Amino acid sequence: MFKFDSTLNRLRSIGILEAISFILLLGVAMPLKYAFGHPEMVRIVGMAHGVLWILYVGLAGLGQLDYKWSWKTTVLLLIASVLPFGPIVADAKLLKKIECQPAD
């Protein structure tokens, strides 16, 4: 499921983890904080989500360099990074169509 052998596979794997962390942050940690007064989960899940988001954005930039993607593809990946389930949709609509070999 998770592969880290190329920039594209790293981006896809981190994207899935980032999307899951975002959903956990919005769907679990934030309600625990505001409805039940337990802010601890926001700190933990929020930090994990932040690190994964930074990795995703960095890998999107690195993928643009490695695979010579158009700016449109890179911008769509960056927009997807701030939407719930965005990286998963980007994976299905954009990244699965791209071959795993870097462009020369």
> Tens digit of pLDDT for each residue in 29-39?
999 999 999 99
1 within some domain: no
102 within some domain: no
Domain count, the chain: 1
103 within some domain: no
56 within some domain: yes
Higher pLDDT, 18 or 97: 18
54 within some domain: yes
104 within some domain: no
The predicted model gives 56-64 an average pLDDT of 96
C-alpha distances (whole Å) from 83 to each of 56, 73, 76, 100, 104 are: 13, 16, 11, 25, 32
For 84, the domain range is 7-97
The residues, ordered by sequence, that sit 6+ positions from 7 with a Cβ below 8 Å of its Cβ are 59, 62, 63, 66, 67, 102
User: What is the reported pLDDT for 103?
Assistant: 53
Determine how many CB atoms are found less than 10 A away from the CB of residue 2. 10
